[in-house]
Amino acid sequence: MQKGSSGQRELSKRWENIRRNWYKFSRNSLSIIGLVVVCIIVFVAIFAPYISPHPESAGKFINFYEASQCPSLVHLCGTDVFGRDVLTRIFFGYRFSLMMGIVVLSLVVPVGVVLGLIAGYYRDSWLDTVIMRVTDIFVAVPPLILALAVCSVLTPGIFHAMMAVSLMWWPWYTRMVYGVASSLKGEFFVQAAEVTGASRTHILFREILPNCIAPIFTKMSLDMGWVILIGASLSFVGLGAQPPTADLGSMVADGSKYLPDQWWIAVFPAFAIMLIVLAFNLLGDGIRDMLGAEGE
């Protein structure tokens, strides 16, 4: 009986926290625009097979009767040289973009954050030196070149592109968390936990990590946009998704051959890339406002 009511109080406090966070987020209308656009894109990507006007255009499809048609009511963004509807391919292209972002971040964030926590907490010990010097090595290589090198060695494909991007992305999380963790190490609440006898795991994951959440989440939402852009760049040079997969980067690459006459084949996919990157940036700003400055 008592546990129920205390659980209820906990829930209502959590709800109040959510409402307070929403208030902070919604102060800037641009962040709301970012959130709305991201939601639309996610929705579109998930339900692409059902809501796209010409779902067959996504895969192997050739229809020379309708090839290279300008944007019209039937084909809102026109068709490409194979007769495939560009808008549909954009919808399906978003699937790959989002997948790239999600997969890369799911790999990179846990690894980067844990390494950063350990290096920061054991600052000035051999552990710190080893981890951070390895991080430095990866950071020193220009990112796109690293990705290109990896992709060229392995067979081009979306999976390898994701691996390549992951490999060059994790050090940034390590560095960021390292900075926060090593400064928090001297804070009194961490010392209080240490002298009470808390275990290392508790201190790393229960005391220090929650204080890193704000910059981590902010960076993650901003990163989504950048990962997508890097992935599109790799596809643009042919190292990402292979034809006939609908992928925004390769669509821009293919379509660029037909500029400026059949401009819609390249311009709409490029605009789609810009839209998703911008939306995630705005969303990231809003998240930073929400999680950032605390209290009055």
Interface residues toward other proteins, by CB under 8 A: 3, 6, 9-10, 13, 20, 23-24, 187-199, 202, 206-207, 210-211, 213, 294-296
CB 223 within 8 Å of CB 169: yes
CB of 49 to other proteins, least distance (A): 42
Q: Which is nearer to other proteins, 72 or 191 (CB)?
A: 191
Q: Which is nearer to other proteins, 208 or 246 (CB)?
A: 208
State which residue, 3 or 64, has the beta carbon closest to other proteins.
3
Closest distance to other proteins from the beta carbon of 210 (Å): 4
Q: Which long-range contacts link 248-257 to residues 24+ away (Cβ below 8 Å)?
A: 248/90, 248/93, 248/94, 248/96, 248/97, 248/272, 248/273, 249/273, 251/80, 251/86, 251/89, 251/90, 251/93, 254/80, 254/81, 255/80
List the structure tokens of 225. 């946009």
Closest distance to other proteins from the beta carbon of 36 (Å): 22
Separation CA 126–CA 185 (nearest Å)? 17
Q: Which is nearer to other proteins, 6 or 152 (CB)?
A: 6
| Beta carbon of residue 230, minimum distance to other proteins (angstroms, whole number) | 32
Nearest distance from residue 190's CB to other proteins, in Å? 8
Q: Which is nearer to other proteins, 26 or 242 (CB)?
A: 26
